[in-house]
Structure 1
Amino acid sequence: MGTPLRIGLTGGIGSGKSTVAAMLAALGATVVDADAISRASTAPGGAAIEPIRQAFGDAFITPAGALDRDRMRARVFSDADAKARLEAIVHPLVRAEIDRRIAACTADAIVLDLPLLVESAAWRQRCDRVWVVDCTPQTQIRRVMARNGWPREQVLAVLAQQASRAQRLAAADVVIDNDDVDLDTLRERVRRAWEARGLPL
């Protein structure tokens, strides 16, 4: 078995990317979640904890030994240098684990759930196809406010940190429309895309 087809799955916050990833897993796809790997690296005993402690200090590590995510989120939103330093610690660990899982995959295709795919050339290089879960920014804002209980301004701040809708669509080989559709319709769109294995539908 050769290297599997690497399908990069991405979408902005509130787009429904995680829902699509779960649907793909239910169809039998091997799904690698970059966020889950990142969270594991910053959990107690994770490989990123000591480098983060050295770079940012004990205040960013909880008493349990995990990254204080709320404190770090506030820091990186207001400090681009801090964001770059954090990414320089975490991203190489995540990329190495993703590469390990790609190498171990025996299926014909693997789905890489990559929130920052469009923003990062390093992630783009790991994908043969790019799938974008798409909806309007208005839908994203409404969903995240309802799901997270965030004020509109906080959602807008996150959107400003991410690639624009136009940038994601320009990078897409396949677009999965998830704007005001029901779950059954979305599931059918995901099924068709998966059966085509990332080729244009």
Structure 2
Amino acid sequence: MLTPYVEIVFEGSPEAVRRLAESGDLGDPESEVFVSSDLGIIGEGRIHHILSVLHVVAEHTHVLIPAEKLPGVRARLAKSSDSIRILAAHEVLETHFHFSFACYSKEHAQKIRQILDDLPEGVKLADFQADTRDDIEARGQELYSPVHDFEYEGKGLVTGTVKGLGAWRKIAEDEPLIKMEKIAVVLGRDLLADDADDS
């Protein structure tokens, strides 16, 4: 079963939030906890819009964690002397990002195809388009003109779970010819507002 995620907006020192993220209390810091600024994440929810309009981003850190960790994090912060508080916590409905590539060697093309074939659990390609051109007549002209005897170009959208996209992005970063846009996070209901309604 795929792990549901939440995005927490922490208010307080980014260094203190990072220490919390690296402590293991939010989940495995190597494979489960994602600080938005590290992973190249942009938000698409209401809270992101409000914070950007108000220009109050310096002391706010967005962190994505497994949803099951949220109650424990809230309990810890309630007892902690750290000057960190949770400003918002939203369920993550979807994560995705666009990518493109262009290469001129079969070796790089093979590596890119392998990366695209070996998608982690919960990750899929959408709107994928690729074109290969192998022109024997152009061989030997590369030094003198923009013509290449081999070209492999493509673009697409990667969608899936937070954990899966984070894992795939780390793999794809090893191939510099793959250009990736920031990860877009689509947020759902405000879990803190739900708690307030229940009380």
TM-score (norm 1): 0.24
Provide the TM-score with structure 2 as the length reference. 0.24
Q: Which structure dedicates a bigger proportion of its chain to helix?
A: 1
Greater strand share, structure number:
2
